[in-house]
Structure 1
Amino acid sequence: MSFQIKEAAKVYDVLIVGSGAGGGMATKVLSEAGFKIALLEAGPNFDPANSEQQTQFKWSYESPRRGAGTTRPFGDFDMAYGGWEIDGEPYTHKNGTKFDWFRSRMLGGRTNHWGRISLRFGPLDYKRKDFDGKGDNWPIGYNDVKPYYDKVDKLVGVFGTKENIPNEPDGYFLPPPKPRLHELYLQKAGKQMGLPVIPSRLSILTKRVDNRRGACFYCSQCSRSCSIYADFSSSSVLVKPALEYDNVDLYVNAMVREVLTDDSGKATGVSYINKVDMQEYTVKAKVVILAASACGSARILLNSKSDRFPNGLANSSGVVGRYLHDSTGASRSAIIPELMDRKRYNEDGVGGMHMYVPWWLNDKKNLGFTRGYHIEFWGGMGMPSYGAGMGIQHLNGRFQRKGENKKAGGYGVGLKEDVYKYYGAMVGMAGRGESIPQYDNYCEIDTDVVDKYGIPVLRFNYNWTDEERKQAKHMQDTFEELFHNMGATALGDKPDAESDYGLEAPGRIIHEVGTTRMGNDPKTSVLNQYNQAHDVPNLFVVDGGAFVSQADKNPTWTILALAWRASDYLTQEMKKMNI
């Protein structure tokens, strides 16, 4: 196919690729500084308050599939246009390894449907190598990022409590919701084990922080993106307000192919495919910021080849795409017999956990693994899942009523009776842990495969190590002890070594980071401490790619803080005419 590349006449001060946490924050900060901005998003515009796009307040039976996840990875009403598999956008693997790459093609990206667990990295998380001798330290420390964590807390809003736990920094918190019944069971059981079961820290407004956003009214449907903006999504909280300025132009359905450069090696803009007319366009700017997700930004850089940059842009170190790592994850569920046939009432709550367990064993060095995990909980009387009925098919006749002689589940009246019996008695927990970044876990360009836009795709190579497997075993042992202490009976068999102790495949937790890591040495890193490319001074990367290590925390709060920090730095450098 041959056609003429179309070039936009306007030259922007800043061009931003991606509208998720990092791109949204950069758009907000830089638009308020007065710069002319082009924001490019690979999916359509999105506003959860738009009645045509809204999925909040819909019943499972309103779906022709009754809620089964055949069109979206977490169900028809989950607010994610995309998933691990997208038609026409493949990715490949090598050496028999597996990595599942989640992409969300919409304004705000994955922030529209995430769990909103909003945790700061602690002082130890930035300097783990000093503690265990593995991996690398960040070139910055907690005190460098703390002022920006504070700003994010105040701008976005996060509930929680001050706990004074080492390496679990407290912030500026809104009042947390009360524990639900199953969480009280977990809290009591955790105390028996010495676990700190504390209120969660979620970016959901339990009271208003400004006039733009309402307070949560406990519909528990945060994964559908909130129509009153009570939870945090980049589209609602960052991008939408920025678009009210006349200095921000939004380009939607813009699939970026590469970053363009001039003869001196400076970035001059990007080339993208318009997904509507399938034509190629260019947009020019003085500064380019990539925020297309860790793997998305790496793909753009690796595809941005030229005589000056034969291995891809900003890749003189050869580590673009390297050190890819995702959170570890393993889970287990159980039934609490004391809660069977429980009284029905309106169990108010947010769309997520009210309690969680931060990592509690930083001082232990004889665990067999060196990085920790936190524990997330679910349960209670939320909307029953579609299927045989909340896992009751695994009960195999246990907990029968007097005179019963049948397995749980089935269909018809018996199924209805069992759903009623077990509803509210289920509880589950999941560990989310830190993996140690490995040079040989990476993504690269597969030169033999292109997507439907003609852009070469990513190929993944990724393996867990014994560190992560031993960590998952510890998770399962902890889950078992918690279940025992709360009088619960675990469902199914306990995962063993043959199944890597239930360790999820990399990419399934959707916390991938590290592909454009920051560092002081240009020979071993892509970015400096301000997310600025060593090789290309007017190029920045503000997504999770900049991470040197993940910590056991969810990455979004740190992406937001670092993007704000990088944007402030860029503002000062542009005012000084250094960029």
Structure 2
Amino acid sequence: MQIKETSKIYDVIIVGSGAGGGMATKILGDAGLKVAVVEAGPFFDPKSPEQQTQLKWPYESPRRGASTVRPFGDFDSAYGGWEIEGEPYTRKNGTKFDWFRSRMLGGRTNHWGRISLRFGPDDFKKKNIDGLGDNWPIGYEDVKPYYDKVDKLIGVFGTKEGLRNDPDGFFLPPPKPRLHELFYIKGTKKSNIPAIPSRMSMLTKKINEDRGVCFYCGQCARACQVYADFSAGTCLIFPAQKNGGQIDLFVNAMVREVTTNAEGKATGVSYINKEDRKEYKLKGKIVVLAASACSSARILLNSKSKQHPNGLGNSSNIVGKYLHDSTGASRSAFIPDLMNRKTYNEDGVGGMHVYTPWWLDNKKLDFPRGYHIEQWGGLGMPSYGFGFNPNDLNKYIGEKVGGYGESLRDDVKKYYGSVIGVSGRGESVAMKDNYCEIDPTTVDEFGIPVLRFHYKWSNFEIKQAKHMHETFEEIIHNMGGHILQDRPSKEQEYGLLAPGRIIHEVGTTRMGDNKKTSVVNKYQQLHEADNVFVVDAGPFVSQADKNPTWTILALSWRTSDYIIEQLKQQNI
């Protein structure tokens, strides 16, 4: 097959445009480097009239907003999903891993909860605490200066709480709790469980001229046309271009591999153009992988050569190993005191205004890692499948609900806003036997070998999920609520969602000082090719009970500074 090769040589080629790729684009572009950004999906700008879905009514969708075309609904800004036609992946030994791929400029940052938490001091050194997994080769003190920079550049609201392992940052004013959140606070107080203002990256205050302020439409999942919430495209890549950065975007470009020379160093990437189905090569002095933990592992494993017969960076056979995702389990409840509510606009930000950080000592429990609690409810805009399930209410409160016509309308007014939900999001223990690898017999529609997954929850995660449900039941009881689902059994793994469903997968290109047990060093630089870096969540040694995005951003900035310094010293 003829491969078209460009003559231009870039200083840096960045594969992926989400949190890690977006931050690298901003820092390296602002430094004056010639940057190519290669994205597997189309260009996306939520301000564009053709792509904007914010402030549209559900009835403007042929499916009333249902998730039959996009995984989170017609109007949500999630191009891609767990299943993409022509882009399969496989599983082995009964694995249930579900792999979410985002295919758009800005990646997953266009559609996410924007829960923006720092890892704490303990999160980098968990082996010291419980003897499980491995410590990171860096500590909180190494990342703190970059967390500070990310807070100031992007903006995050919250309050200073003085919690040692949930470090404070530079916060914008948080929004006030809504009625269902006041009920949640009431429920947690009775059990001495903390409930504090959320830490989320929506602007509640003006920080620069490029971005507007949140006007509480509650539709952050649709991406914000005034750029008030954080997305990598609107907040990092577009500003880098506006600052005069030499940045070329290659969209709808599916990267096949990192190309290397006789010395085993990277020379660029090859990709398939989805529009003409031809293969192209880009030349670059440095390659930065930011395609997501599993996608970057796939690229490295497919980058085989005489110098790297087992895949680039994989002589230790660690690429793809130690894959892990956040745990997730949920319950919902009917709160009688919230019936017959006066309806008014209480939308707020797109997500929770308060949350519960991990509050217990695992040494006193029968599982090793913690979780935080998220909650939802209120009077958001009705859409397909909104509000309550009449069958649940019929079963658990013994009152016939729903029907047709007037009785349905009356019950919607009666019960809407009276159902709340609580969800746990926790840390799983990284294990070598949870991994992704190249399937030896399956390729995607572009001819690129696909990933095959092997993953099982351990008893650690299953016991953690049991504790989540015990906590949910206690909080709901304190609120005077009626739980709307039976507690899942141990055989059902206490309702743990399949790994991959929380979309926090990390660990496939883990960081470490020992080349035999890790893929990258503490600057996320490949041990075996010093001009290749990985700045997504692949280098994470462990996950923590926090969402990974803020740490991806901070580490990508740290790596970008390192790249600039190394170029100045002519070391790479």
Query: Would you call these one fold, judging by a TM-score over 0.5?
Result: yes
**1:121 equivalenced with 2:119 (yes/no):** yes
Residue of structure 2 in register with 1:36 after alignment:
34
Q: Decide whether the 8 Å contact of 1:392 with 1:422 is kept in 2.
A: no
CA shift at 1:413, angstroms? 2.4
- Residues 276-355 of structure 1 correspond to what in structure 2 (within 5 A)? 276-355=275-354
CA shift at 1:388, angstroms? 7.4
**1:561 equivalenced with 2:559 (yes/no):** no
Q: Decide whether the 8 Å contact of 2:512 with 2:520 is kept in 1.
A: yes
Alpha-carbon separation, structure 1, partners of 2:347 and 2:218? 8
**1:473 equivalenced with 2:466 (yes/no):** yes
**1:94 equivalenced with 2:92 (yes/no):** yes
CA shift at 1:384, angstroms? 2.6
1:92/1:399 CA distance change after superposition, 3 Å: closer
Residue of structure 1 in register with 2:58 after alignment:
60
Alpha-carbon separation, structure 2, partners of 1:387 and 1:330? 20
Alpha-carbon separation, structure 2, partners of 1:267 and 1:559? 23
Q: Decide whether the 8 Å contact of 1:356 with 1:374 is kept in 2.
A: yes
CA shift at 1:409, angstroms? 2.5
SS at match of 1:106: coil
Alpha-carbon separation, structure 1, partners of 2:35 and 2:537? 22
Q: Decide whether the 8 Å contact of 2:20 with 2:535 is kept in 1.
A: yes
Deviations 1:313-344 (A, max 9, x none): 01111100000000000000001101100111
- The gaps in structure 2 that reach 5 residues or longer are none
Alpha-carbon separation, structure 2, partners of 1:399 and 1:275? 53
Alpha-carbon separation, structure 2, partners of 1:224 and 1:46? 12
Q: Decide whether the 8 Å contact of 1:243 with 1:249 is kept in 2.
A: no
Q: Decide whether the 8 Å contact of 2:166 with 2:357 is kept in 1.
A: yes
Deviations 1:511-537 (A, max 9, x none): 000000000000100000000000000
Alpha-carbon separation, structure 2, partners of 1:196 and 1:397? 32
Residue of structure 2 in register with 1:379 after alignment:
377
- Residues 417-456 of structure 1 correspond to what in structure 2 (within 5 A)? 417-456=410-449
Residue of structure 2 in register with 1:403 after alignment:
none
CA shift at 1:63, angstroms? 1.1
Length, aligned pairs only: 571
Residue of structure 1 in register with 2:408 after alignment:
415
1:385/1:470 CA distance change after superposition, 3 Å: farther
Alpha-carbon separation, structure 2, partners of 1:93 and 1:183? 40
Residue of structure 1 in register with 2:393 after alignment:
395
Residue of structure 1 in register with 2:162 after alignment:
164
SS at match of 1:409: coil
1:537/1:200 CA distance change after superposition, 3 Å: same
SS at match of 1:8: strand
Task: Give 2:252's aligned amino acid.
Answer: N
Q: Decide whether the 8 Å contact of 1:388 with 1:409 is kept in 2.
A: no
Alpha-carbon separation, structure 2, partners of 1:291 and 1:397? 47
Q: Which runs of 4+ in 1 moved over 6 A?
A: none
1:276/1:534 CA distance change after superposition, 3 Å: same
- Residues 130-529 of structure 1 correspond to what in structure 2 (within 5 A)? 130-244=128-242, 245-361=244-360, 363-387=361-385, 389-396=387-394, 407-529=400-522
Alpha-carbon separation, structure 2, partners of 1:384 and 1:357? 27
Alpha-carbon separation, structure 2, partners of 1:343 and 1:170? 37
* Percent of residue pairs bearing the same amino acid type: 69
1:473/1:397 CA distance change after superposition, 3 Å: closer
Task: Give 1:138's aligned amino acid.
Answer: W
Alpha-carbon separation, structure 1, partners of 2:491 and 2:386? 27
CA shift at 1:414, angstroms? 2.1
CA shift at 1:416, angstroms? 1.7
1:471/1:399 CA distance change after superposition, 3 Å: closer
Task: Give 2:334's aligned amino acid.
Answer: I
Give TM-score, length-normalised by structure 2. 0.99
Q: Decide whether the 8 Å contact of 1:397 with 1:408 is kept in 2.
A: no
Alpha-carbon separation, structure 1, partners of 2:347 and 2:193? 25
Alpha-carbon separation, structure 2, partners of 1:399 and 1:463? 36
Residue of structure 2 in register with 1:18 after alignment:
16
Alpha-carbon separation, structure 2, partners of 1:70 and 1:486? 35
Alpha-carbon separation, structure 2, partners of 1:385 and 1:379? 14
Q: Decide whether the 8 Å contact of 2:396 with 2:483 is kept in 1.
A: no
Across the aligned residues of Structure 1 and Structure 2, the Cα RMSD in angstroms comes to 1.1
Residue of structure 1 in register with 2:48 after alignment:
50
Alpha-carbon separation, structure 2, partners of 1:107 and 1:412? 44
Q: Decide whether the 8 Å contact of 2:397 with 2:482 is kept in 1.
A: no
SS at match of 2:295: helix
Alpha-carbon separation, structure 1, partners of 2:65 and 2:104? 21
Alpha-carbon separation, structure 1, partners of 2:75 and 2:224? 12
Alpha-carbon separation, structure 1, partners of 2:422 and 2:468? 10
- Residues 71-90 of structure 1 correspond to what in structure 2 (within 5 A)? 71-90=69-88
Higher alpha-carbon deviation: 149-158 or 489-498: 489-498
Alpha-carbon separation, structure 1, partners of 2:416 and 2:452? 43
SS at match of 2:259: strand
1:493/1:10 CA distance change after superposition, 3 Å: same
CA shift at 1:385, angstroms? 4.2
Task: Give 2:518's aligned amino acid.
Answer: S
Q: Decide whether the 8 Å contact of 1:112 with 1:223 is kept in 2.
A: yes
Alpha-carbon separation, structure 2, partners of 1:391 and 1:87? 31
Alpha-carbon separation, structure 1, partners of 2:533 and 2:344? 51
Residue of structure 1 in register with 2:25 after alignment:
27
Alpha-carbon separation, structure 1, partners of 2:395 and 2:80? 39
Higher alpha-carbon deviation: 456-465 or 340-349: 340-349
Q: Decide whether the 8 Å contact of 2:375 with 2:423 is kept in 1.
A: yes
Alpha-carbon separation, structure 1, partners of 2:123 and 2:393? 41
CA shift at 1:389, angstroms? 4.8
Alpha-carbon separation, structure 2, partners of 1:226 and 1:410? 37
Alpha-carbon separation, structure 1, partners of 2:173 and 2:413? 33
1:335/1:367 CA distance change after superposition, 3 Å: same
Q: Decide whether the 8 Å contact of 2:39 with 2:254 is kept in 1.
A: yes
SS at match of 2:190: helix
Alpha-carbon separation, structure 2, partners of 1:389 and 1:213? 32
Alpha-carbon separation, structure 2, partners of 1:388 and 1:562? 38
Q: Decide whether the 8 Å contact of 2:313 with 2:528 is kept in 1.
A: yes
Alpha-carbon separation, structure 2, partners of 1:355 and 1:389? 20
Higher alpha-carbon deviation: 375-384 or 12-21: 375-384
Deviations 1:464-508 (A, max 9, x none): 000000000000000000000011111021222121111000000
